[in-house]
Amino acid sequence: DAGITQSPRHKVTETGTPVTLRCHQTENHRYMYWYRQDPGHGLRLIHYSYGVKDTDKGEVSDGYSVSRSKTEDFLLTLESATSSQTSVYFCAISGPGELFFGEGSRLTVL
């Protein structure tokens, strides 16, 4: 299995609070991604990183920011969580090429 760890795995928070999700990899892959998955849908790309301090937006980036200060860590921040951001968030890595996913973080915003 690809060495990808997401934390926290589950979080319940209230509208308006900041939330940070962490993705840690041990594979030394250049590319890292954050996707979200909502019921009945495939995954949608939020942001991605192509190197330390190099990030770019994906399809659904509004309301999210990311940072990558080390090759192994990619952080996703919701500055002020909203109920529409209730979702399962997946981190992925690649060389680029084949994508490998973490186990997901379930976020509930009340």
For binding to other proteins (CB under 8 A), which residues are involved? 31, 33, 35, 40-45, 48, 50, 56, 58-59, 88, 90, 94-101, 103-104
Q: How far is the CB of 80 from other proteins (least distance, A)?
A: 26
Q: Counting beta carbons within 10 angstroms of the beta carbon of residue 16, is it exposed (0 to 12), middle (13 to 18) or buried (19 or more)?
A: exposed
Cβ closest to other proteins, residue 14 vs residue 38 = 38
Cβ closest to other proteins, residue 8 vs residue 80 = 8
Cβ closest to other proteins, residue 35 vs residue 81 = 35
Q: How far is the CB of 61 from other proteins (least distance, A)?
A: 12
Strand order in the sheet with 73-78: 4-7, 19-25, 73-78, 65-70
